[in-house]
Amino acid sequence: MRVAIIHYWLVGMRGGEKVIEVLARMYPQADIFTHVVVPEILTEDLRKHTIKTSFIAKLPRAPKMYKSYLPLMPLALEQLDLRGYDLIISSESGPAKGIVPPEGSVHVCYCHSPMRYIWNMYHDYREGAGRLAKLSMPILTHYLRLWDESSAARVDRFVANSSTVASRIRRYYRRDAGVVHPPVDVDAFAPVPPEEVGDYYLMVGELVRYKRPDIAVRAFNRTGRRLVVIGGGEMLSELRALAGPTVEMLGSQPFAQLRHHYARARGLIFPGEEDFGIVPVEAMASGRPVVAFGRGGATETVVDGRTGVFFDEQSEDALIEAIARLEKLPLDPAEIVGHARQFNPARFEQQMREAIAEAWAEVHGKAPPEGARVV
C-alpha cells in the first residue's frame, strides 16, 4: 500500500511535527508532501522519508517567508500529484487537506485546528497585523474560507486532536470528527524527589499574544513570586522589558534545560487557550501540577483539584487566586504522572490505526491492507 502524508510546512519540530514523526513511524514507506521544508531541523527519522515540496518552496525566501504565500497555498496543494497513493493522511492547521485525492484513495485528515487565522482567531490575527496586511486580509481570507470549506468535502474522515477542535470542525465544515489526542513523549520526562523541587513557577511556549504570557508576567510582578519563562517569539523583548526582579526570561532553551525546569518547578502556568496543549502534559509527566485557563484543550488534559487548577478568566486577579488555591491542595506527584502517561504515543498509534481502518472500510467496504490494519 502506498501512503502519502501531507503536512502544511516543516520548518520546526513542534507539536504538529511530532504528530508527523509518529505517523511516519507507523508508515515507514510513506512519502511526505509539504509546502516548504528546512531539512536540518528535522529529526533523523523524518529525514529518512522522501519529502516532496509544492511550488511554494521555489518562491523567494520561502523557508522564512512561507506564511506570506498563504493565498497561493490552495493552488499549490491542488498541483501535487498523488496518483498511485492508496492512503492519504493530511495534517491540518495550515492548508494541507486541500489536495485532490485520486479515485479509489482514502483521505483521512488529522486536524489540529481549522486554520485559526481565517476562522476562530481571525480578528486576533488581523488586530496584530501590519497596515498592508490589515487592509488585504478581509478579501484574502474571504477567498480562503470559501476554498477551505469546500475542500473539506475531499476528506473521507476527520480526526480532531481534541473535543475543542472537533466542535470547530462541526461549526466551520459541518462534519463530524472523532477525537484522538496527539502523542506526547511522556517517557522523556520524570519527577524528582520533593527536596529538589524549587521555589519558582514555570511558563513554557512560544511568546505570542493569543497565549497571553503578559498576564503571567504581570501577576508574578504583583505577588513577588518567582516565575521562570522558557520560549522565544514576537513578545520576548516586550516581556523582558515588562518583567520585574522575580521574573526570569530565559528565551529558547535546549531540551535538557526544559526537562530540568519542568521537574523542579512548583507548577506550570498556562494562561492561553490552546487547541490541545502538549506543554501541560509534559509538565504533568514530570510530576508537576498545572495552573491553566479553563478553556480549550487544557480542560481535556488537566483534572481540576487533582493534577492542577483552572482559572475562569484571563486576568491577573484570576491567575493569582488560582495559584493561591493550588498551594493549598495536597496533590500527589505520582497520581499526576500516572494521569499524564495516558497520552503516550502507543495510544495515539492504536487509535489512529482504528480510525484509518474504519475510514477504509467506509470507502471500500472491506478491511484495509496490512499497512493500515489495526495491530
Q: In CATH, what number is assigned to the domain containing residue 161?
A: 3.40.50.2000
Q: Is 199 helix (H, G, I), strand (E, B) or coil?
A: coil
250 is in which domain, residue-wise? 186-342
* Residues 172 and 202 both lie in one domain: no
Closest alpha carbon to 166 in 179, 153, 155, 156: 179
Can you tell me the distance from the alpha carbon of 291 to that of 311, in angstroms, rounded to the nearest whole number?
7
Residue 294 · residue 312 · CB < 8 Å: yes
- For residue 128, what pLDDT is reported? 81
Per-residue pLDDT of 3-47, as tens digits, reads: 999 999 999 898 899 999 999 999 999 999 999 999 999 999 999
Q: Are residues 198 and 173 in the same domain?
A: no
Above 50 in pLDDT, residue 373? no
Q: Give burial (CB, 10 Å; 0-12/13-18/19+) of 312.
A: exposed
Asked if residue 210 and residue 331 are part of one domain, the reply reads yes
Long-range contacts of residues 238-243, Cβ cutoff 8 Å, at least 24 apart: 238/214, 239/207, 239/213, 239/214, 242/214, 242/217, 242/218, 243/217
As for how many domains the chain has, the answer is 2
Specify the range with the lowest mean pLDDT, choosing from 67-76, 310-319, 358-367: 358-367
Phi and psi at residue 325, in whole multiples of 5°?
Answer: -65, -45
Residues 75 and 147 in one domain: yes
**Average pLDDT, stretch 269-276?**
96
Question: pLDDT at residue 170 above 60?
Answer: yes
Mean pLDDT of 68-88: 97
Average pLDDT for the chain: 95
Contact 119, 200 (CB under 8 A): no
**290/42 Cα distance (integer angstroms):** 29
pTM (2 d.p.): 0.91
Residue 370, pLDDT score? 62
Residues 162 and 15 in one domain: yes
Grid cell locating 222: 504583583
pLDDT (average), residues 265-288: 97
Query: Across residues 356-370, what is the average pLDDT?
Result: 88
Measured between alpha carbons, how far is residue 36 from residues 97, 117, 264, 313 in Å? 15, 19, 37, 38
Q: Report the distance separating Cα 320 and Cα 23, nearest Å.
A: 40
Residue 313: other Cβ atoms inside 10 A: 11
Statement to judge: residues 213 and 321 lie in one domain: yes
The stretch 59-79 carries a mean pLDDT of 96
Clarify whether residues 224 and 149 are in a common domain. Answer: no
pLDDT, position 337 = 98
User: Does one domain contain both 80 and 193?
Assistant: no
Asked if residue 368 lies in contact with residue 357, where contact means CB atoms within 8 angstroms, the answer is yes
* Structure confidence by residue, pLDDT tens digits, 144-160: 999 999 999 999 999 99
Cα 135 → chain centroid: 29
> Do residues 179 and 106 share a domain?
yes
266 φ/ψ angles, rounded to the nearest 5 degrees: -65, -30
| Domain identity same for 168 and 259 | no
Distance CA 352, CA 374 (A): 9
pLDDT at 130: 86
Given a cut of 50, whether residue 338 has pLDDT beyond it is yes
Q: How far apart are CA 231 and CA 347, in angstroms?
A: 28
Task: Classify residue 35 by its DSSP letter.
Answer: S
Whether residue 154 is found in the same domain as residue 220: no
pLDDT greater than 50 at residue 375? no
**pLDDT tens profile 278-317:** 999 999 999 999 999 999 999 999 999 999 999 999 999 9
Same domain, 160 and 226: no
Question: From CA 184, how far away is CA 42, in angstroms rounded?
Answer: 17
Indicate if the pLDDT at residue 374 is higher than 70. no
pLDDT, position 342: 96
